[in-house]
Amino acid sequence: MSIKEIIKIPNPFLKITAKPVIDIDKNIITILDDMLETMYNANGIGLAATQIAIDKRLIVMDCGKTDFDPKDMSEEEYNEKIKNEKIEPFPIKMINPEIISFGKNLKEREEGCLSIPGYNSNVKRPSSIKVTYIDENKKNKTLDANGLLATCIQHEIDHLNGILFIDHISKLKREIILKKAIKEYANN
Ligand code: ZN
């Protein structure tokens, strides 16, 4: 495993639509492991392959595992609970992830991005989703996600379609972040 460089805006690679994975070979397994290591090293909770300049539909996440089921509780109860409960590591690797349905309710949550470090903004997204993907053992999986994980999956799949969280906020806020961040990164 090795830590890869995470590309930042305005790198044009962040705008590409990543290609589906056809063959799940050793190379893909290595990329997924490298992505997870790179994500943990950067203290992130999600990473898409395009953020390490790889043109493949791969995402990794770790939003933690809890000993309760968030499906049984409201967003507020969930947020209260995760403040107090012990959270175990829960790495998820997804190949060719696809959201097949969105819940009706929207939830606003503060998002950040390893490709726009230092800048956060509230983003409104569906609070629950159903996603299909292939895991590293070539098994087809379906996952119902809500809470932080639902946000994280949507944010990471957006990356595979060349979309950043700042594309979901107002033009004014986006331009402020872009201007400041690009200037800051160019100077470092
Ligand atoms: Zn991101």
3-state secondary structure of 108: strand
How far does residue 44's CA lie from ligand 1's centre (Å)?
Answer: 9
Copy the structure tokens of residue 54: 């790889």
How far does residue 15's CA lie from ligand 1's centre (Å)?
Answer: 12
Which strand (E) or helix (H) includes residue 65? none
Q: What is the pLDDT of residues 135-160, one digit of tens each?
A: 999 999 999 999 899 999 999 999 99
Q: Which fold has domain 12-186?
A: Peptide Deformylase (3.90.45)
Any idea which residues carry the catalytic annotation? Answer: 156
Residue ranges of domains in the chain:
12-186
Average pLDDT over residues 155-175: 98
DSSP classification of residue 152: H
* Global model pTM greater than 0.85: yes
Q: What is the pLDDT of residues 25-72, one digit of tens each?
A: 999 999 999 999 999 999 999 999 999 999 999 999 999 876 666 666
Give the CA diameter of the chain: 47
How far does residue 114's CA lie from ligand 1's centre (Å)?
Answer: 6
List, in sequence order, every residue forming a beta bridge with 59; answer none if it has no partner: 48, 94
